[in-house]
Amino acid sequence: MTSSRRDFLRSAVLLSAAVPLAAAGCSTTDPKEEKSGGGSLQKAKDAGKITVGFANEAPYGYTDKSGKLTGEAPELARVVFKELGIDKVAGVQVDFSGLIAGLNAKRFDLVAAGMFITPERCNSVAFSDPEYVAKSAFMVRKGNPKGLLKQDDPGKKGVKVGVLEGAVEQGYAEKSGVKKGNIQVFADQASGFEGLKAGRIDCIWLTRISLADLLTKHEGEPYEVTAPFTPVIDGKEQFGAGAFAFRKADSDLVTAFNGKLAELKQGNRLLPIIQPFGFTQAEIPTAADTAAKFCKG
């Protein structure tokens, strides 16, 4: 998810928690304001609403059974924007791989989906500082019959690996020796789990957070999540840092968001907001974990 966080999901639809695209809080901006990087925050304040793009992936951003938009990112967004004077956070659901395109097409005002900060994405959007950092893990059958514990194990043992569409884990798997023919891409966590259950894959590679959440939905079934690990790609540790994504022109929005996020971290208020979604103190970023750091790779 940690990908995750990252990278994921579904077809472009509006849920009951979502709003019509034309009604997005500040989905259109004056060209002059975009050029100067000003005005987006004030427009959202005037409207009393801001619209986020999400991919319907628990625990990052999803709609619950009642149709409410929730998850660690939307709930954190609600706290931050309320303190910025914006009371309503609405949502637009799209496929994870389409979130950045949707953002830059002004279908919504920011991405709240636990998206990982990567140098490639930093070329297209402006990230907030991360709200969490995460490690990878595998979901496997109970007892871990294939002995999958480390990053290189799937490639060395020739097993079939499930990843989510648009997720960073697909690249991790390829660069860790997993043959492309042994990588199966799924649209979402549910279909990935069904693939594992049917024996089409031997493991699912996602963040520990995503897999732990998935496991809670299948209590009593013979599956487990391995101990977390940090992938090393091209000699560099890949610390998954999840953050909110903004249009590059909306520098006022990014600056205001980062200011409130820093206050939450410094006041030990961040963990209580995201803890209900399976996050722990181990996932809380340090002061050194900035967007600039992860954009460099």
164: domain CATH number is 3.40.190.10
- Tens-digit pLDDT profile for residues 226-236: 998 989 999 98
| Residue 166, pLDDT score | 81
Co-location of 200 and 55 in the same domain: no
The pTM (predicted TM-score) of the whole model is 0.72
Nearest one of 87, 31, 29, 58 to 279, comparing CA atoms = 58
Strand-pairing partners, residue 52, are 91, 110
Query: Are 126 and 260 members of one domain?
Result: yes
Same domain for 125 and 35: yes
> Residues near 152 by Cβ (< 8 Å), separated by ≥ 6?
176, 177
C-beta atoms surrounding 50 within 10 Å: 29
What's 252's DSSP letter?
H
Query: Does residue 210 sit in the same domain as residue 140?
Result: yes
* C-alpha count within 13 angstroms, C-beta hemisphere, residue 289: 20
Q: Pairing state of beta strands 161-164 and 183-186? A: parallel
Average pLDDT, the chain: 87
Residue 267 within a domain: yes
**3-state SS assignment for residue 235:** coil
Contact yes or no for 56/63 (Cβ under 8 A): yes
Place of tokens 């004030």: 42
The pair of structure tokens assigned to 6 is 């990252």
Residue numbers of the domain that contains 247: 21-133+241-296
User: Residue 163: which pLDDT band, with cuts at 50, 70 and 90?
Assistant: very high
**Looking at the 3D structure of the chain, how many domains does it have?**
2
Pairing between strand 88-93 and 232-233?
unpaired
